Amino acid sequence: MSFDLLGLRAELLKAVEGEGYTEPTPIQAKTIPVILEGRDVMAGAQTGTGKTAAFTLPMLEILSRSRHEQRGRAPRALVLTPTRELAAQVGESVRTYGRNLRLWAAIIYGGVGINPQIDELRRGVDILVATPGRLLDHAGQRTVDLSKVEILVLDEADRMLDMGFIHDIRRVLKLLPGKRQNLLFSATYNDEVKRLADGLLHEPAVLEAARRNTPAEAVSQVVHPVGQTRKRELLSHLVKSGGWRQALVFTRTKHGANRLSEQLLKDGISSTAIHGNKSQSARTRALAEFKKGSVKVLVATDIAARGLDIESLPHVVNYDLPNVPEDYIHRIGRTGRAGAGGTALSLVSPEEREHLTNIQRLLGRKIQVEEVPGFQHEASQKAAPAAPRAAHQRDAGKGRFNSPGGFRRPSRRH
Ligand code: AMP
């Protein structure tokens, strides 16, 4: 399959070629022709599947078919994203793919001054990439006119709903003209996403990048059982003994992210944390340092990491398991992208067994368990202090996590 056959103009093909893409990803091959027909689309695609280009390229094609030259023009395409990082990244993609076209994009999100955004909107834009809250601030101040929007994209719709944006989304929808093309992208489906889709999409084409709730094939997943108190030590050990180049590490809390990053620094591993309490400029700086390669480990919370565009990351670590199982899939989507292999490691304490069970239920399979020599022993003793001595001895040969307070290997369950 070649990009030439998708119906995109030469300026877009040139930009795609400039990015070094030789062929469309499956979700791009499926969605681009359908979007160009003007149909509504419901696409199941995680980060890493090439989903951004899957809606950006046809959007740019449609907009450039009828260019509006007047100054101060109102946006004709609106992309809503859950986080500012994702807005920034989608905006960057719009600019990259549209660099040979005369279309203007503005990126609108909160946490930064509103006045430069007002100036930009006043000068006129064709494409608006925005987070819902700040967009509504502009709407309230009448500094944005959404009455000319022809194409609406909801990117990472599942996450927007998880983050409680449903009311904001509905308020934005009320400001849009009734006749428009709607594209909904979501990594996972649940009843809430379906309800949103039902109310929004008109006879949509339903397209999927991969099977529902299935992580990229290229990602190998492993669980390392370990006691909570030894997780940091195990992580440092894995990074050092494995000669890791770079890793993205997830923690559940902002505080945990900061603390871990500081501890890794003490262990001699360059590290930085990225989370919602940090200013936008601090987050951008942390991400830039990581991308440059001057930082080995980026520690992030789920919300901050959402949509981070880091290419071919070899290791993703769940330092804490997420309590929302879908977050696990989002997290491990940061590795194994665009054909490159990747490993997703989860450091799982006995207290997190229930989270693991829920994640495995969502995946529809067990994740391979590998004990790391030197870490399973004490972990198990700490994890199951009440286990009778005889039980410990009996289980010794099989590894401690077969003991009552611990894990079972999938093969031993049956
Ligand atoms: P996304 O799923 O939009 O976050 O994209 C994941 C990564 O894949 C990004 O770094 C893109 O630059 C890259 N990408 C998008 N389309 C292609 C393609 N057709 N071939 C190779 N890489 C791509």
| Tens-place pLDDT, residues 117-142 | 999 999 999 999 999 999 999 999 99
Indicate if ligand 1 lies below 6 Å from the C-beta of 306: no
Give the list of residues 6+ apart from residue 9 with CB closer than 8 angstroms, or none: 61, 64
Q: Which residues contact 394 (CB under 8 A, 6 or more apart)?
A: none
pLDDT tier at 3, thresholds 50, 70, 90: very high
Can you tell me the mean pLDDT for 190-211? 86
Mutate which of 21, 30, 51 to test ligand 1's pocket (most atoms within 8 Å of Cβ)?
21
Q: Out of 14-23, 88-97, 253-262, 304-313, pick the least confident.
A: 304-313
Query: Comparing 3-208 with 219-379, is the CATH topology the same?
Result: yes
Average pLDDT of the residues in 190-214? 81
pLDDT at residue 407 greater than cutoff 50: no
Which residues have a Cβ under 8 Å from the Cβ of 390 and sit 6 or more positions away? Answer: none
State mean pLDDT over 317-344: 80
Place of tokens 């590490």: 249
User: Which atom of ligand 1 is least distant from the CA of 46?
Assistant: 2
Check residue 312 and give its pLDDT.
61
Does 385 have pLDDT greater than 60?
A: no
Task: Compute, in angstroms, the gap from residue 335 CA to the centroid of ligand 1.
Answer: 12
Residue bearing the CA closest to ligand 1, atom 8: 50
Q: Domain spanning 219-379: which superfamily?
A: P-loop containing nucleotide triphosphate hydrolases (3.40.50.300)
Any idea where the domains of the chain sit in the sequence?
3-208, 219-379
pLDDT at 215: 57
Separation CA 342–CA 310 (nearest Å): 13
**Worst-scoring range by mean pLDDT, 99-108, 227-236, 281-290?**
281-290
In this predicted structure, the answer to whether residue 267 has a pLDDT above a threshold of 50 is yes
Closest atom of ligand 1 relative to the 23 alpha carbon: 19
Between the ranges 252-256, 359-363, 395-399, where is the mean pLDDT highest?
A: 252-256
Distance (Å) from CA 68 to ligand 1 centroid: 29
Start-to-end Cα distance in the chain: 44
> Which atom of ligand 1 lies closest to the CA of 49?
2
| 128 touches 79 (CB < 8 A) | yes
Residue tagged 């262990």 (tokens): 267
> Distance, CA 3 to ligand 1 centroid (Å)?
13
199 vs 273: CA distance, rounded Å? 39
The larger pLDDT score, comparing residue 188 to residue 96, is at 96
Residue-level pLDDT at 339: 54
Report the predicted TM-score, pTM, of the whole model to 2 decimal places. 0.60
Model pLDDT, residue 362: 81
Indicate if the pLDDT at residue 408 is higher than 60: no
Residue 253, burial from CB neighbour count under 10 angstroms (0-12, 13-18, 19+): exposed
Q: Give me the percent of the chain exceeding a pLDDT of 90.
A: 59
Whether the CB of 50 sits within 6 Å of ligand 1: yes
Q: Quick check: CB of 89 below 6 Å from ligand 1?
A: no
pLDDT for the residue 313: 78
Q: How confident is the model at residue 219 (pLDDT cuts 50, 70, 90)?
A: confident
- Write the CB contacts of 331 (distance below 8 Å, at least 6 apart in sequence): 250, 302, 305, 316, 318, 322, 344
- Give residue 337 CA to ligand 1 midpoint distance, Å: 8
Determine the average pLDDT of the residues in 74-99: 95
Ligand 1 centroid – CA 48 distance (Å): 6
In this prediction, residue 47 has a pLDDT band, given cuts at 50, 70 and 90, of: confident
- Look at ligand 1, atom 5, and give the residue with the nearest C-alpha: 50
Residue nearest to atom 20 of ligand 1 (CA): 21
- Tokens standing for residue 119: 């100036």
Average pLDDT of the residues in 61-89? 89
> What pLDDT digit, counting tens, does each position of 299-319 carry?
998 777 765 666 667 889 999
What value does the mean pLDDT of the chain take? 84
Confidence band of 29 (pLDDT split at 50, 70, 90): very high
pLDDT of residue 254: 87
Answer whether CATH 3.40.50.300 is correct for domain 3-208. yes
Confidence (pLDDT) at 292: 85
Q: What CA–CA distance (Å, rounded) separates 380 from 394?
A: 14
Percentage of the chain modeled with pLDDT above 70: 84
Q: 90 CA to middle of ligand 1, Å? A: 12
Average pLDDT over residues 200-229: 80
- For residue 208, the model assigns a pLDDT of 82
CA 20, CA 238: separation in Å to the nearest integer? 33
